[in-house]
Structure 1
Amino acid sequence: MEISKKSISELQAIVSQVRRDIVRMVHACQSGHPGGSLGATELLVALYFEVMNRKEGFDMDGSGEDLFFLSNGHISPVFYSVLARAGYFEVAELATFRKLGSRLQGHPTTHEGLPGVRIASGSLGQGLSVAIGAAQAKKLNHDEGLIYVLMGDGELQEGQVWEAAMYAPHNKVDNLIAIVDYNGAQIDGTTNDVLSLGDLRAKWLAFGWQVLEIHQGNDIAAILDGLTQAQQQAHQGLPTVILLHSEMGNGVSFMMGSHKWHGVAPNNDQLADALAQNPQTLGDY
């Protein structure tokens, strides 16, 4: 059964609710990573509610559908919220985030059996390799589904990323769409200060990838346009990478423009401020 698609306004309404989920989850346990989660909200909402071909229900095999892998697993709040709002598990379970015995651990894991989670992630640098393996498995199975993987830009400082980046074009892994959350910030500061990424577009091109850029990485329409173009480039011999220029903390004014909210929870007053900026649209858990 095909998942029904949404209009731009419906997607924006989901984005507002997911932002509320993120800040409430992190506030409740006073732990987690709100900045990157908020910055990737529009992307994950677009993927799960409009772009990806998804089946009803969940199985680890994922045959006959598109698959998504979250490599930068510390942004689990946005992943859990989107999975719940997309129907993979009950929205009420979001209230258990990072609590003892919860399936919603700080970084996603598979041994808890949480629907929608296919890999344990958070040890940065590994997601692209996993996505390549899944993409090659689909090709061997004559499955036309696409593989999507999201990485942080600071994550590109990991050497394994570039081993995988070299492997994919050589092996014509052309059913793979990698996305870099290019917000220019990581836990210790800006990527330019910690370890400059240089000309990121030129790097990926040099490794043999097709490179797209979404300069308005928190605009639903721009994201949909970029993902559509990436889909059109699939199955043509080369993998595609999207450089998504996003804003860490997007949608919560006091979190934007700084790396400081990478892994800091809001206090009561800050939570109230964040919620006031993002109206309830689907109902809080």
Structure 2
Amino acid sequence: MTDTFEKVEDIEIRLLLEALYHRYHYDFRSYAMSSVRRRLRQARENLGFATVSAMQERVLHDPDMLPQMLRYLTVQVSEMFRDPSYFLAIRETVVPHLRTYPSLKVWIAGCSTGEELYSLVILFREEGLEERTLFYATDINPEALEQATAGIYDAERVRLFSENYRQAGGKTSLSDYYHSNYNRCILDKSLRRNVVFSDHSLVTDQVFGEMHFVSCRNVMIYFDRALQDRAVGLFKDSLLRHGFLGLGSKESLRFSRHADAFRDFVRKEKIYQRTDS
């Protein structure tokens, strides 16, 4: 009976994903099924629907339902200077190469609510590169982009952010970059002066400019193999020769058909460099 239920549920899920694509042009059809199934089960339970089909009927006819679906289907889990050793590696090994360029473009793909973006802006400011850098922060979730643009976070998260910043080689105190208001941490608006926020889908959209550095962390783990290949191809075509790509700790180029276009730069931190070929 359980097998039958799961088979029917998988059919419902695929129909819901098709509905989202054809009705709203959000394409989750190539996301890893196990991850999508888990998130939609949570959505169904929390939103009070008996079946995925009932949830599909609602989202098709009620556009106000879409933001709720996106909250479940897009992962908005991040923190400033997450995995501090990654940012320390950028500071110590990538930045010296970036210093050789008169101007820079950096793409944070899947920027979520902005924590990684602001981490990089602060790092670039401390290394004297912010003024010559244009940062592109993209995501498919408009609510996440709004939060990223606002740069406001719960004050209770600041202790973790500050410790991450210290371990990432921070040169001052993180408190220099924000002020507190009630239970909120509000980042200094100057951190956004060289930032462009934009909607962009790694599933359906095309190459995003000519970049010196692309950071896309903990996004591709939710894609199937074909979509991972597409995303890596976008990053390859978006990078200048000798540009850099940073991935999440559980992600790799090892099985990508585009792997030969990159070389390991800091293998432990999943930082790669685009090769001449």
TM over 0.5: no
- Which has more strand, going by share of residues? 2
**How does the TM-score come out when normalised to structure 2?**
0.37
Q: State the structure with bigger RCO (CA 8 A, min sep 6), 1 or 2.
A: 1
**How does the TM-score come out when normalised to structure 1?**
0.36
Rg larger in 1 or in 2?
Answer: 2
